[in-house]
Structure 1
């Protein structure tokens, strides 16, 4: 067999793993790898304008497609610029393989030019990591990295690759299988525990299904819908679970937690049985731990054993894949006699709906409702930045299918949405992809406009522009006596800093500014019909707040309500 360099082995291995897109930025010690990528027609390399943009784009690609995202950066600052993106993927269990260049293996530890201990830096935010010092281990390492990234509870895997290993030659064979001692994810749930869930449900009067991102990851949406309809149990989802259960279904409670629906939070608090699936009981969902669902028995299905009983004690633990366990539950499930509970849920929905002030002012909730209406019947993916824009997007846009919601959950990463939207659009070219942004967050990776324009990625960006860091300003208003310390982005009413229309146009994108309600629909239609990336700068009401809201450390049913 002909010998290949380490760089060529990487490319051939990625092709065998089915990789079609890589996001990244070149540098000195990845030149051999970039040179081999330059020759292949099987992989499209997307040159981002910052390494953080590359990591978020790979993440967004993965969330939209279900495939493993891939990004590449050079050593030192190239690799450290990936760290925020790696942490974001880790917190949300997103499978990404990150390949970083490294200085020559014999220089490691000598403080060589652009050397950084990437393995040490990322150890706490990766599922696994490799430093490859021998080209003989390279193909096996890549095979294992993809397997680890996408199996069990998914997550990011780093491969740190010294430049001399990229240049070494060896005969290339790619492993057919992977066998890692000590890593054997459990997919099937224990049959006795599954039977316990069915028995407990039949005794319950106020059951709720609490579904998280594990529903999306395992592809269990159809099984969840079937189980809910078969039993009649209402479903609430986490932010990461949006799209895992149709938001317009009669049994949907919407999202729960700090900015969830009031009726979802009250239903959880009044429930006597909670079936948690692929969720981790994080603090934004539970509120004050000692008051969470005080009268409920809890069953928890999760593929990650460490997630079970980590925050909330669980009565029925099931370690397994959500899709596999739900299939077993569906075989045993029966219609429950919970008509009184259904009536109570309907009462809560009528008494505590999501609402906002409907007047002549341009409000963000209205923009999202009109986006929903204008795109009705179209295939749409919504990505978001982080802050008020993100929360309004969870409340006032309805997600009916999995992998149509792309947003940073656990890490809450500002600057995530735009590059993630680019990745999602490249992964799902037949979808219309919108990034819902704030004027603060969009500036954190604004340079990726060049990527979108040059690569002809037709992402549409809706900026909900209130001239401030809205979510922090909201907390300052409610809890810090309206002392707006360093959250106001524009000091003068007439000042645009930046002028997003001119900024977008300077990159070669199209843009419009909208300040009136009557112009919203036409602007959205124009954006959809316009080729290439588009910025829509909506000048929304500056003091609009996200309600309802659970103050930090409060019980989730103790919510603040308001219209602005």
Structure 2
């Protein structure tokens, strides 16, 4: 830092004397924060007192700290900005751990501010004390315990930088109560000390040229995109679409990457992985060149690692160096921001690569044969609502709206991914890596706060949604008209499916015998309740849900024992899928190893 800059910082510090609590609120302003999701407690009362005395930052009172975290995740995923949560010490911090780990797994930028007991009491087992830094170290990108008020502003600015830069993720700033009361020097983001965290954004040009050469010579290529494309911003999704158009390559996506390429696009294969389409998984298995962009080769995608895409030459673009060659060895690693690398790929392809789309014709003919299997087919019914039909009708009746979808976790999540067509990024909020039941309702609250005029729908399961149902109260309080569309089969559906297929149909504790009356529950919270049991009545009920300007719980009674197919049994390869018309006893038996053990 130059002498002039040091002098300017010293002058600013002199005139910007404030309490630690005031610093927190000012840092939120300076980092563009408009909403904070939180729950008060003794160790953060000074911060809450400052929030009360200003109007720039709106606080959203949730009913549980886990709900605050998921709401902040939904806010972040739908806006591209960091979500912010504020919780007290001890149980406030520990209740946030699930959301922090969820955000870490799914690369969601989240800033969690926690209160801590006074510095003089740290380590004494004081009331509502816990080792927040120790507890959250493995479930955050970074965390800080701030013992000096004069360092607080710089730490807060660095926290936002770390959360949003490189591979996004959650951070924690733990602030003792006496530091919140103490007075010190506030520094703005422009004059705060420069952070040492500077991830590499630009890809290596020689590696990008190697990737172009591989792609140009491919006879059976596939593009495999992930959530990293969406995290890189709207321009990255635009460039991805341009690359697909230029090359003529087929494209598939992870659960977290849905919407980066439109579901209506002619090159779209559907989602891949454990419950992906037949054509996507077979293309991944048989391809000769794989371009992986912003995905991490996780186990839900790869199936059996030693049988994953055995004959392909792999290109991997990722901003996180630890993700490259971690699970799957690749021939061309490209470290950098997905958007910037895609920009280079498109530029170099335009400059010299020849798109031999005629040479890809045999590959596309094979893909069309796989598509003809219609792996997402199901048997319709006039008597009972099939869950797939419910999602399809929900999509058709909402696609002209400004719609955002969240989900809980389980069968309904996979049906939503399979049958709801996403045309744009940042419209799909779900818990991918951690698979957190209870995610969808508070995430919907966060999305609705960010987009007050949008139609926000949580496609939920009857078991998952009960884990955070109390956030309906927060939705009513803050006039957030979220729609909770429950595919109610009275089971923990995915657990029940695995028990049926791999555990001799011994349904151990996966049936819910005391479900609430969801219509009355909605009304008890001050919302609107709807129940639908007949396919013929479904469209009108969905229209009613859309038109009501209140939080809605929609109890959609679906077939109790419907299974989610296609499915790759854990431990199997992509070309060993169970399809709806192949789920025979013999096929299921093949999903169990020679010693009779489940491969889940």
TM-score between the two structures when normalised by the length of structure 2: 0.92
Q: Hey, what does 1:338 align to over in structure 2?
A: 360
Q: Hey, what does 1:506 align to over in structure 2?
A: 524
**Structure 1 counterpart SS, 2:498:** helix
**Residues 437-474 of structure 1: per-residue CA shift (max 9 Å, x gap):** 10000000000010000110010010010111000000
Q: Hey, what does 2:344 align to over in structure 1?
A: 328
Instruction: Kindly indicate whether residue 451 of structure 2 is the aligned counterpart of residue 428 of structure 1.
Output: yes
Instruction: Kindly indicate whether residue 504 of structure 2 is the aligned counterpart of residue 481 of structure 1.
Output: yes
Q: More deviation in 402-411 or 356-365?
A: 356-365
Instruction: Kindly indicate whether residue 470 of structure 2 is the aligned counterpart of residue 450 of structure 1.
Output: no
**Structure 2 counterpart SS, 1:71:** strand
Matches within 5 A, 1:253-332: 253-332=269-348
Instruction: Kindly indicate whether residue 13 of structure 2 is the aligned counterpart of residue 19 of structure 1.
Output: no
Instruction: Kindly indicate whether residue 404 of structure 2 is the aligned counterpart of residue 389 of structure 1.
Output: no
Instruction: Kindly indicate whether residue 459 of structure 2 is the aligned counterpart of residue 459 of structure 1.
Output: no
Matches within 5 A, 1:20-419: 20-176=34-190, 182-219=196-233, 220-333=236-349, 334-336=354-356, 337-360=359-382, 361-419=384-442
**Residues 19-44 of structure 1: per-residue CA shift (max 9 Å, x gap):** 00000000001100000001111111
Q: Hey, what does 1:493 align to over in structure 2?
A: none
Report how far residue 556 of structure 1 moved.
Answer: 1.6
Asked if the contact 2:375/2:579 (under 8 Å) is kept, the reply is no
User: Matches of 2:302 and 2:123 in 1, distance apart?
Assistant: 44
User: Matches of 1:173 and 1:273 in 2, distance apart?
Assistant: 50
Asked if the contact 1:453/1:509 (under 8 Å) is kept, the reply is yes
Q: More deviation in 343-352 or 41-50?
A: 343-352
Q: Hey, what does 2:494 align to over in structure 1?
A: 471
User: Matches of 2:29 and 2:326 in 1, distance apart?
Assistant: 39
User: Matches of 2:173 and 2:508 in 1, distance apart?
Assistant: 41
Report how far residue 180 of structure 1 moved.
Answer: 5.4
Give 5+ residue unaligned stretches, structure 2: 1-14, 584-600
**Structure 1 counterpart SS, 2:255:** coil
- Residue 505 to residue 181, structure 1, CA distance change in 2 (3 Å): closer
Q: Hey, what does 2:598 align to over in structure 1?
A: none
**Structure 2 counterpart SS, 1:158:** strand
**Structure 1 counterpart SS, 2:448:** helix
User: Matches of 1:16 and 1:179 in 2, distance apart?
Assistant: 15
Instruction: Kindly indicate whether residue 560 of structure 2 is the aligned counterpart of residue 546 of structure 1.
Output: no
Asked if the contact 2:278/2:373 (under 8 Å) is kept, the reply is no
- Residue 507 to residue 230, structure 1, CA distance change in 2 (3 Å): same
Report how far residue 3 of structure 1 moved.
Answer: 2.8
User: Matches of 1:527 and 1:41 in 2, distance apart?
Assistant: 33
**Structure 2 counterpart SS, 1:386:** coil
Report how far residue 324 of structure 1 moved.
Answer: 0.3
Runs of 4+ in 1 over 4 A off after TM superposition: 177-182
TM-score between the two structures when normalised by the length of structure 1: 0.98
Report how far residue 181 of structure 1 moved.
Answer: 6.2
User: Matches of 2:33 and 2:424 in 1, distance apart?
Assistant: 24
Instruction: Kindly indicate whether residue 538 of structure 2 is the aligned counterpart of residue 520 of structure 1.
Output: yes
**Structure 2 counterpart SS, 1:258:** coil
